[in-house]
Chains A and B, each alone.
Chain A
Amino acid sequence: MAPTSCSLCRDAKAILKRPKTGQQICKDCFFFVFETEVHHTITEAELFKSGDRVAIGASGGKGKTTAVIWPDMLIVLMADSTVLAYVMKTLNDRYNYGLELFLLSIDEGITGYRDDSLETVKRNQQQYDMPLKILSYDELYGWTMDAIVEQIGKKNNCTFCGVFRRQALDRGANSLNVDHIVTGHNADDIAETVLMNIMRGDIARLGRCTLICTQGEDTIKRSKPFKYAYEKEIVMYAYFKKLDYFSTECIYSPDAYRGHARTFLKDLEAARPSAIIDIIHSGEAFEVKEEIKAAQKAQQTCKRCGYMSSNDLCKACTLLEGLERGMASSVITDRARKKMDAMGPTPENLRTIPLFRSTPTITVEMPSQS
Chain B
Amino acid sequence: MASTISINIVFSGGLELLFGNERNHSVSIPNFVPSDNSTCSTPSSSSSSTPPSDNVVSSTGAGDTKAADLEYLIYHLRDHLLKERPELFMENGTIRPGILVLINDTDWELEGEGSYQLCDNDEILFISTLHGG
Chain A interface (Cβ < 8 Å from any Cβ of B)? 1, 3-4, 13-17, 24, 59-62, 66-70, 73-77, 79, 231-232, 235-236, 239-240, 247-250, 254-255, 258, 262-263, 266-267, 269-270
- A267 CB to nearest B CB, Å: 6
Residues of A within 8 A of B96 (CB): 266
Interface membership of B52, Cβ < 8 A: no
Interfacial residues, chain B to chain A (CB-CB below 8 A): 12-14, 17, 85, 88, 96-98, 100, 102, 105-107, 109-112, 116, 125, 127-133
Distance of A13 Cα from B103 Cα, bound (Å): 13
Residue of B100, B106, B111 near A232 (CB, 8 A) is B100
Is there contact, CB below 8 Å, between A76 and B107? Answer: no
**Contact call A235/B133, Cβ cutoff below 8 A:** no
Contact B97 A70 (CB under 8 A): no
21 contacts between A and B (CB under 8 A): A1-B110, A1-B112, A4-B110, A15-B105, A16-B107, A24-B110, A61-B133, A62-B132, A67-B132, A68-B132, A69-B98, A69-B131, A73-B17, A75-B130, A75-B132, A76-B133, A247-B12, A247-B14, A254-B132, A266-B97, A270-B97
Q: A183–B132 Cα gap in the complex (Å)?
A: 14
Would you call B107 and A75 a contact (CB within 8 A)? no
Q: Is the interface of A mostly helix, strand, loop or mixed?
A: mixed
Let me know if A77 and B106 touch, CB within 8 A. no
Residues of A within 8 A of B111 (CB): 1
> Cβ of B116 and Cβ of A1 under 8 Å apart?
yes
Q: Knowing that A1-B111, A67-B133, A69-B132 are A-B contacts, what are 9 other residue pairs whose CB atoms are under 8 Å apart, sorted by A's residue number? A: A16-B110, A17-B109, A24-B110, A75-B130, A231-B129, A235-B13, A239-B125, A249-B14, A250-B132
- Given known A1-B116, A15-B105, A67-B132, contact A77–B14 (CB-CB < 8 A): yes
Q: In the complex, what's the smallest C-beta–C-beta distance from B79 to chain A, in angstroms?
A: 20
Known contacts A77-B13, A249-B14; is-contact A15 B97 (Cβ 8 Å): no
- How far does the alpha carbon of A69 sit from the alpha carbon of B117 in the complex, in Å? 31
Q: When the two chains form their complex, are residues B14 and A66 in contact, meaning their CB atoms are under 8 A apart?
A: no
Chain A residues near B105: list those with CB within 8 A: 15, 240
Contact B17 A249 (CB under 8 A): yes
In whole Å, how far is B32's beta carbon from the nearest beta carbon of chain A?
Answer: 20
How many angstroms from the CA of A239 to the CA of B17 in the assembled complex? 19
Contacts of B88 in A (CB 8 A): 70
Residue of B nearest to A239 (CB): B127
| Distance, CA A75 to CA B110, complexed state (A) | 27
Instruction: A215 to B52: give the CA distance in the assembly, Å.
Output: 53
Please pick, from A17, A258, A267, the residue contacting B97 in the complex, using a CB distance under 8 A.
A267
Q: Least Cβ distance of A83 to chain B in Å?
A: 12
User: Quick one: given A70-B88, A77-B131, A270-B97, are A17 and B14 in contact (CB under 8 Å)?
Assistant: no
Report the separation of the CA atoms of residues A193 and B5 in the bound assembly, to the nearest whole angstrom: 45
Given known A-B contacts A236-B100, A247-B14, A266-B98, A74 and B131 have beta carbons under 8 A apart: yes
